[in-house]
């Protein structure tokens, strides 16, 4: 399979992941689109180095989270977004209650620290502690401690409301 084909297949299979990460890290649609494109670009740049690796999803999460972190930290960028005009980065659930809950959830996640933002995202994606540790670089025990702290923070946010 050609590199381009293998890459587009990988992205298509995992486009939901990129969408969710973009939405967690950016609150405006414009920034979400820019981050989405940046993640795809970085994945493409590192695709050669990945091809020999065992687990595609671990690599994808790692690159996507790193890109998201540097994206929000970098100074204001000036650049050209290529070809994403046709991409409508919108998820509108049919159920208004779900929509409301998702908005509330994103608002809560965005209040977390940068480290915890990445960890909760992986936890919500159904990743096990070992996998989260492997993607983030924190030890398993640190991941466990952080998750219990995140739960506490979420409860506090709830009480404050």
Partner 1 sequence: MELEEMQAAWSQMSQDLEKQKQLTDEIILKMTQQKYTSQWNKIFTAEKIGGVICYIGLVVLLANFKIFDTIALQVSAILCMLILAILPIVSLKTIRGMKQVNVTKMNYKETMETYAKGKKNFVNFQKLNVGISFLFMILTVPVSAKLFNDENLFETLDPKLGIAVPFMLVFFGLLIWFVTRCYKKVLRNSETILKEIEE
Site for partner 1 in 21-80 (CB under 8 A): 36-38, 40-46, 49-50, 62-63, 65-67, 69-70, 73-80
Among 84, 110, 111, 156, binds partner 1 (CB under 8 A): 84
Please name the residue that has the structure tokens 């494109």.
37
Residue 136 has, within 13 A of its CA and on its CB side, a CA count of 26
**Per-residue x/- mask for partner 1, residues 92 to 131, rule CB under 8 A?**
-x----x--xx-xx--xx---xxx--x-x--xxxx-----
Q: Measured between alpha carbons, how far is 65 from 61 in angstroms, rounded to an integer?
A: 6
CA distances from 134 to 21, 92, 119, 140, 143 (A): 18, 32, 11, 8, 10
Q: How far is the CB of 89 from partner 1 (least distance, A)?
A: 9
Among 21, 26, 35, 135, binds partner 1 (CB under 8 A): 135
Among 11, 57, 140, 144, binds partner 1 (CB under 8 A): 11
Q: How far is the CB of 135 from partner 1 (least distance, A)?
A: 7
- Long-range contacts at 73-78 (CB < 8 A, ≥ 24 apart): 77/34
Beta-carbon neighbour count of residue 150 at 10 Å? 19
- Residue 143 within binding range of partner 1, rule CB under 8 A: no
Among 81, 111, 141, 156, binds partner 1 (CB under 8 A): 81
Q: How far is the CB of 129 from partner 1 (least distance, A)?
A: 14
Helix (H) or strand (E) holding 35: helix 29-50
Please name the residue that has the structure tokens 């025990």.
141
């Amino acid at each position: 399979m050609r590199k381009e084909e293998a890459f587009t297949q990988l992205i298509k299979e995992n486009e939901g992941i990129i969408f969710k990460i973009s939405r967690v890290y950016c609150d405006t649609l414009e920034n979400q689109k820019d981050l989405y494109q940046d993640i795809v670009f970085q994945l493409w740049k590192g695709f050669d180095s990945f091809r020999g690796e065992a687990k595609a999803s671990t690599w994808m999460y790692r690159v996507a989270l790193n890109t998201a972190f540097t994206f929000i930290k970098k100074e204001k960028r000036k650049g050209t977004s290529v070809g994403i005009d046709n991409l409508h980065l919108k998820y509108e659930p049919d159920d208004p209650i779900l929509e409301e809950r998702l908005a509330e959830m994103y608002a809560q996640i965005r209040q977390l620290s940068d480290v915890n933002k990445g960890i909760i995202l992986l936890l919500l994606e159904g990743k096990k502690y070992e996998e989260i540790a492997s993607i983030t670089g924190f030890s398993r025990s640190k991941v466990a401690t952080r998750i219990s702290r995140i739960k506490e923070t979420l409860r506090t946010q709830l009480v404050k409301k």
